[in-house]
Amino acid sequence: MDHQLIEDTALPERYVTGRLDEAERARFEEHLVDCPICLERIEASEGFSAGLRGASPQVRIPPSAPSFSRRRATRSTWLLASACAASLVAVVLTGVRLAGVERELSSERTTTVEAQAKLKATQQQLMREKAGRETAEARLAAPRQRTPVQIPLLALIATRGGSAPTLELPAAPGPFLLLVERENPPRFQSYLATVRSTEGVAVWQGPVRPSSRDTVAVALDSGSFPTGTYSLVLEGVGVGGRMAPVARYSFRTVTP
């Protein structure tokens, strides 16, 4: 509020004698909070009114508005209580925040411990895998003594009478080879080989391809050929899969 307006309207005196309406009193009290000049005038007016009441009882002084000192004391008490309540709320909120922070820190510590345990387990696993690789590499790098493997081999010629050639097979089952000549000139790029016993039972049958321009190699398992006489029939696979006979061979197997 403007001090000139206060002087012109005698607001302090009207306030003390209770002649201000509610709106004017509220505005003036808001002004008094920060104005020591008006506050001194209020206290002086209250003292003057009190002196008049004591000196002349017959003079009726209108009841004054509640003392601003009392109002100020009440307002100060209310402000103090509000400040205390606000401080209490702040303390409670701070405690709640601290509890939340503590929970977050505890959760982070637990997460950190779990992560460290997983990291340690992963590192140990990597170390074991590295040790395994190094052991395997060392074994591969170590010189090996290889035992030469001897595969029995028998070269056949087309049957034209006479005795069949004999192939001695090892006691332990293993592979052996039969080599036969191709037709001259070569007419087929693939063949069907069939091995039969003397009783005409098919012991083995399968497709074979030329091992060179002049020969065809047939690999067999000695475990299926006990001592006995056998015949090998070679057929060429022609156009459209039609079979054409190429040659017939006889051979005999024996075991130690």
- Span 85-127, pLDDT tens digits: 666 656 666 776 787 778 888 888 888 899 999 899 999 889 8
* pTM of the complete model beyond 0.75: no
Dihedral sign computed on CA atoms, order 44, 47, 48, 49: positive
Cα distance between residue 67 and residue 9, in whole Å: 20
Report all structural domains of the chain as residue ranges with CATH numbers, in order of start. Answer: 3-65 (1.10.10), 153-254 (2.60.40.2550)
CB atoms within 10 A of CB 208: 16
Q: Which residues contact 14 (CB under 8 A, 6 or more apart)?
A: 20
pLDDT of residue 152: 92
pLDDT score of 9: 80
Nearest to 225 by CA among 253, 206, 200: 253
**pLDDT score, position 101:** 79
Tokens 């209490």 found at:
88
Question: What is the C-alpha separation between 176 and 193, in angstroms, rounded?
Answer: 15
pLDDT tens string 157-187: 876 666 889 999 988 889 999 999 898 889 9
Q: Provide the 3-class DSSP secondary structure of residue 244.
A: strand
With a cut of 70, which residues of the chain have pLDDT below it?
1, 48-93, 96, 143-148, 159-162
How buried is residue 216: exposed, middle or buried, by Cβ count under 10 Å (0-12/13-18/19+)? buried
